[in-house]
Amino acid sequence: MHKKHIQLIYDKECPVCRWYCHIIRIRQSLGNLEIINAREDSELINNISRQGFDLNQGMLLKIDNNFYTDAEAIHILALMSTRSDIFNRMNYWLFKSKTFSRYSYPVLRFCRLLLLKILGKTKITQANLSK
């Protein structure tokens, strides 16, 4: 089995997203997880924006040349997780279900957007890049 190129693009300004992205662990046999801040100016972020993905709506998972967003991203991450600690085991048991992921993600997104508003964080835009 070939190791996949796995990239998780997230909003580093969101404390919950930052915590999640740094605690999630995937099985090494699948590949290495590269964590990327959506607010950094890079060719990847610009390419994602040109393709119409809205990084304000949540994280984006890129595996090789395939993109997964929102509920699908957390579902796939759960399936790829190591289950090596309590967080990764809980993440797996909660989000291994596509149905649970699909119905819970809008609540998680709402809480994220509310938290960013409370913290006075701006939305991710092309203007935010290069800062």
pLDDT class of 127 with cuts at 50, 70, 90:
very low
Would residue 126 count as lying in a domain?
no
Would residue 131 count as lying in a domain?
no
Is the Cβ–Cβ distance between 12 and 37 less than 8 Å? yes
Q: Which of 24, 32, 100 is nearest to 62 (CA)?
A: 32
The position carrying tokens 């190591």 is 82
Domain span at residue 30?
4-118
Task: Count helices and strands (H / E) in the chain.
Answer: 5, 4
Q: What are phi and psi of 105, to 5 degrees?
A: -60, -40
* Number of domains present in the structure of the chain: 1
Residue 131 has pLDDT above 70, yes or no: no
Residue 116 has pLDDT above 50, yes or no: yes
On average, the pLDDT of the chain sits at: 89
- Beta pairing class for 31-37 and 60-63: unpaired
Would residue 124 count as lying in a domain?
no
> Cα dist. 61→86, 121, 127 in Å?
22, 22, 23
